[in-house]
Structure 1
Amino acid sequence: MASRKVVALPVDTIAEYAARHPKAPHLHFSYGTAGFRTLGVVLDSVLFRVGILAALRSKRLDGKTIGVMITASHNPEEDNGVKLVDPRGEMLEAAWENHATTLANASNEEFLDVLRQFVQTARIDLSKPSRVVYGRDTRPTGEGLVQALRDGLAAIGAEGRDAGITTTPIVHYLVKAINTKGTKQEYGEDSEEGYFEKMSEAFRKLVSGRARIPQLIVDCANGVGAPIVKKMTEYLGETLPIVLVNTAIDTPGALNHNCGADFVKTRQTLPPSLHGMMKPGQRACSFDGDADRLMYYFIDERGYFAMLDGDKIAALVAAFIVDLARLAGLADKVKVGVVQTAYANGASTKYLSERLPVRCVPTGVKHLHHAAEQFDIGVYFEANGHGTVLFSPSTIERLETHEPSTPAQSTALKHLNNLVQLINQTVGDALSDMLLVEVVLAHKAYSAIEWNSLYSDLPNRLVKVYVPNRNVFKTEDAERRLVSPAGLQPKIEELARRYDGGRSFVRPSGTEDVVRVYSEAVLRSQADELAFRVAGLVYDEAGGDLNRRPKEFL
């Protein structure tokens, strides 16, 4: 039997490249839910090391393609970040988040030793091939960071594929499409064109025979969504008339500034650029900077702003899928469920719980995605507009092979199979989710006003409290209850009981030294008051700075 060829780490080559990307000794980086994220100008060394890590991840998985996306999503333009994508288009395995943090923080002198140790402990066969596909958003620091990533790939001899300036969801799509090519689970053509063709064809089939869809305004956050949506409109033609706004991707400082999904969600108002554009009842939606979040909204007859956030999207989509499963004769064979976090509006949870199973999990996409995989069809959306629908492999096979017994069942089954093609199941995708919403509205013949009337949101408030050490705050019950600091949770509950419909919870941020306070009540004034009184408790407990950056107390 032939012995396995032993390949050594190319330390001299890595050292040569590493010298071009030194780490500043005073900086510390942490790989969280969103990957690494901080000021773009300090990420050079991180991107170089991520290139090496991505290549090693690929080798560890027998040459499967790994994805890398350079983005800071909804953050201000001066920020940037990077995250890795595993072979099925899912987020990086949790254990490797720690490896990423360790490698990113190794001193220049210790880096090679840390790398050697990692290769040994992770049992990485260096003779295996390594393949990485990477993309970036429109941030000005992106180009330099891509070069640092390429140097990391070159240092270890990995094969790189540049997806260019594109959205986060397209990178996730490409990873899955590349890795499933030629298999029974083939996801689609592994190109941007394949992404457009797959979704647009499914959309056309799903809205065929429906009333003409009214014009939709799309706020692109002056980010990468602008060119991507523009390309999609060429594939959609007249099936979905779209007006693009906030498309200034080359204007310095414009990205996510007074626009985008995060602006709409936190300010609960129109982007200023849309004032005067919208007629009462007209639908509009906002993407974020990398096009993985979606927020819908409209102006009512009185001129009031009405927001249709991730909770409203989940309610609309989940009810539609449940109806289709029933009409297809699969109600007793396909279990549909919804996954939410503590940030979900209480009214949405009540509405959904009366119709299908609902699970609450800790904040973070990886928790939602994993829980949604436990259902035959799992719908998950965070209130911030990030979410998707997952069809289990067995469910996809069932939908493809099920024999309908009536024409109505046949039609519903076709719709479900087309939804499988329309929905980007690898990750939340603003463009895919937008098309999904438009399909449901077309089938239900709902206006934005009728959609909004499914249930009435409880007024809510989200407040940040800056604290010296967020790690002293520990939670349980899907982050809905504090267990530390001791004695604080009973005080929060006592306050909440004073308000009609009062609910409040406190959780530490996963990315910055703040504690987030969320509160609900029947009246807006009471939701605000409860939030700030609970924030006061946190401030007293932790010695926080309640006056720091007050513009973020949104």
Structure 2
Amino acid sequence: MRRLFGTDGVRGLANGELLTPELAVAVSASAVRVLVAHAAAGDAHRPVALVGRDPRASGEMLEAAVLAGLTSAGADAVRLGVLPTPAVAHLVEALGADLGVMISASHNAMPDNGIKLFAAGGQKLPDSLESEIERGLDSTAPRPTGAGVGRVRELPDAVERYVAHLLAATPGSLSGIRVVVDCAHGAASEAAPVAYAKAGADVVALHASPDGLNINAGVGSTHMDPLQAAVVRERAHLGIAHDGDADRCLAVDADGRVVDGDQLMAVLALAMRDSGELVEDTLVATVMSNLGLHLAMRGAGITVRTTAVGDRYVLEDLREHGFSLGGEQSGHVVLPRYATTGDGLLTALRVMARMAQTGRSLAELAGVVTVLPQVLQNVRVADKEAVAASPAVAAAVAEAERELGDTGRVLLRPSGTEQLVRVMVEAPTQDSADTLATRIAAVVATA
């Protein structure tokens, strides 16, 4: 049986074959039973679960199903309404809840949706607990009746609580900063403009009018062109682009150039090193981060640790070793002192604070990283593990690495979800990267 949970919860076409209201009821009820079973011995309190969502239309249907599932298993449910994923994680921790549920498909198109779960403390669930929840979907355990059935209540100031948390984590006023924020008609449409303005910035809100159908529709962090044009048109100091649930962000400098997650991490790493917040002068990134980030950090005396692709692996390394900054090229950035998951609003606030403190432009701050041309080719194969391990492929990779020397790198890995082998090449020039990636991909295709 295919595993239900992916790298970030359950995701699929809402009301389609997989992500149905029936599944939402079953997942929510099973999550309550599993987490209660793992609670400390003698802890007999009624569980409390927080439920948030992004504004896509199917979220209303799935929210009703999730609330039904939670309360049918005996948990009290608190409806948070529309707000970012990191807000749900924060409020689970701040309010001492037992469980958090975020209904969102992040950057996916409107017809999709998803269910993300957070345990007590706002932590993402480990694979073992997700597997246990899956096994309990068809449970015939007795259900509570009468007063044992959970109740539903609202938290009308959920956004205000989250914004207050963000402001407390922002080191200084953003006075003098003019920012355009593209909210992707998503979960940050209210919170982001309010948070940035309350921090002192002059804010121009873009795509902040969700109607349930327009989320991510040619806007947000996966469609940067509208933001790039708006930053230049508004003569702003920078632009911030969020995805549908605002757990990540990308940026645009004053000239309309995109600043990616690697560059944002470099800006924050140097700021935190200077303030003494960067534990062991170490940054945690994935293997996909550009070689330019590694070279820039090495020159600044900062160690870069690498993990597998996926923000959950970054989070695991941060927690295990107590480091204070990590993230992905895609814009998922985690600051464990302030958040238990990637938080695009927190990232943006900290970057703008660095600009305000230093008086330097985003282009100047991000320019510490010279981004090497990077090419990624996905090759469909019959057996990804066998192909990735073949001697012919290894020889092709070794030859490319010899040609590049210290000026680039090659990363070849099987996809985690499909029968694909991913070939990534970084090189001093785009032509060189394209040529080497195409050469290796051809060997992969015939191996």
- Interval containing the TM-score (normalised by the shorter chain): 0.7 to 0.9
Which ranges of structure 2 fall in alignment gaps of 5 or more residues? 99-120, 123-154
Q: Map residues 160-171 of structure 1 onto 2, 5 A cutoff.
A: 160-171=77-88
Determine if contact 2:285/2:305 at 8 Å carries over to the other structure.
Answer: yes
1:54 is matched with: 31
State how far apart, in whole Å, the 2-side matches of 1:262 and 1:504 are. 25
1:495 CA displacement = 3.0
Instruction: Give the counterpart of 2:172 among 184, 187, 207.
Output: 207
- Looking at structure 1, the residues matched to 394 and 372 of structure 2 have their Cα atoms a distance apart, in angstroms, of 22
Aligned residue among 132, 136, 155 for 2:72: 155
Instruction: Give the SS at the match of 1:506.
Output: strand
Instruction: Report how far residue 513 of structure 1 moved.
Output: 4.4
Q: What is the CA deviation profile of residues 275-330 of structure 1, one whole-angstrom value per residue up to 9, with x for unaligned ones? A: 36515884112111110111112364xxxx5332111111111111111129xxxx
Looking at structure 2, the residues matched to 439 and 509 of structure 1 have their Cα atoms a distance apart, in angstroms, of 37
Superposed, 1:29-428 pairs within 5 Å as 30-42=4-16, 43-44=19-20, 45-62=22-39, 129-179=46-96, 191-203=158-170, 206-208=171-173, 212-233=175-196, 235-236=198-199, 239-250=200-211, 252=213, 254-263=214-223, 270-272=224-226, 274-275=228-229, 277-278=231-232, 282-298=237-253, 300=255, 306-325=257-276, 335-354=280-299, 355-391=301-337, 423=338, 425-428=339-342
Q: Secondary structure at the match of 2:91?
A: helix
Q: In the alignment, what sits opposite 2:149?
A: none
8 A contact 2:183–2:220 mirrored in 1: yes
CA contact (8 A) 2:292 2:370 kept: yes
Per-residue deviation, 1:169: 0.5
Please give the secondary structure, in 2, of the residue aligned with 1:373: helix
Q: What are the superposed Cα offsets for residues 499-542 of structure 1, whole Å, 9 maximum, x if unpaired? A: 5734221223334444332211100122223233333333323x
Code of the residue aligned with 1:167 in structure 2: it is: P
Deviations 1:20-65 (A, max 9, x none): xxxxxxx9553121111121223113312211122023312438xx
1:129: how far off? 3.2
What is the aligned partner in structure 2 of residue 435 from structure 1? 349
Aligned-partner residue type, residue 289 of structure 1 = G
Displacement after TM superposition at 1:152 (Å): 1.9
Question: Deviations for 1:333-353, whole angstroms, at most 9, x for unmatched residues?
Answer: x52311111111101112113
Q: Give distance in 1, aligned partners of 2:303 and 2:400.
A: 30
For residue 436 of structure 2, what is the aligned residue in structure 1?
530
Q: Is the 8 A contact 1:260 1:288 kept in 2?
A: yes
Larger Rg: 1
Match of 2:106 in 1: none
Distance 1:306 1:525, change over 3 A: farther
**Preserved CA contact (<8 Å) 2:48 2:97:** no
Give the residue type in structure 1 aligned to 2:289: A
Superposed CA deviations along residues 386-421 of structure 1, whole A, max 9, x for unmatched, are 012224xxxxxxxxxxxxxxxxxxxxxxxxxxxxxx
- Residues 231 and 238 in structure 2, CA contact (< 8 A), matched pair in contact too: no
Residue 409 of structure 1: aligned partner: none
- Identity, % of aligned pairs? 26
Residues of 1 paired with 2:222 and 2:4: CA distance?
23
Q: For the residues of structure 2 that align with 1:281 and 1:472, how far apart are their CA atoms?
A: 51
Amino acid at match of 1:505: L
Pick from 351, 362, 369: which aligns with 1:455? 369
Alpha-carbon contact 1:131-1:158 (below 8 Å) kept:
yes
Which piece of structure 1 moves more, 490-499 or 360-369?
A: 490-499
Please name the residue that 1:504 is paired with: 410
What CA RMSD, in Å, does the superposition of the two structures yield over aligned residues? 3.1
Instruction: Give the match's secondary structure for 1:275.
Output: helix
Look up the equivalent residue of 2:393 and give its one-letter code.
L
Mapped to 2, the partners of 1:218 and 1:489 lie a distance apart of 44
Looking at structure 1, the residues matched to 287 and 378 of structure 2 have their Cα atoms a distance apart, in angstroms, of: 16
- Return the alpha-carbon distance in structure 2 between the equivalents of residues 219 and 505 of structure 1: 32
Pairwise CA distance, 1:179: 2.0
Q: Deviations over 1:440-479 (max 9, x none)?
A: 1111221022113213111112233344554656xxxxxx
Q: What SS does the corresponding residue of 2:95 show, helix, strand or coil? A: helix
User: Following the alignment from structure 1 to structure 2, what is the Cα–Cα distance between the partners of residues 382 and 498?
Assistant: 27
- Structure 1 residue 140, shift from structure 2 partner: 1.9
Checking the alignment, whether the CA contact within 8 Å between 2:266 and 2:297 is kept in structure 1 is yes
- The DSSP-based 3-state class of the residue aligned with 2:15 is helix
What is the CA-CA distance between 1:379 and the residue it aligns to?
1.0
Q: Secondary structure of 2:431's partner?
A: helix
Deviation at 1:433, TM superposition (A): 0.7
**Cα distance, 1:436 vs structure 2:** 0.6
> Does structure 1 conserve the Cα–Cα contact (< 8 Å) formed by 2:408 and 2:428?
yes
Give the TM-score normalised by the residue count of structure 1: 0.63
Match of 1:494 in 2: 399
Q: 1:513 to 1:160 in 2, by over 3 A?
A: farther
SS in structure 1 opposite 2:324? strand
- Cα distance in 2 for partners of 1:281, 1:527 equals 34
Question: Taking structure 2 as the reference length, what is the TM-score of the superposition?
Answer: 0.77
Deviation per CA, 1:62-114, whole angstroms, max 9, x where unpaired?
38xxxxxxxxxxxxxxxxxxxxxxxxxxxxxxxxxxxxxxxxxxxxxxxxxxx
Contact kept in structure 1, 2:231 and 2:254, CA below 8 Å: no
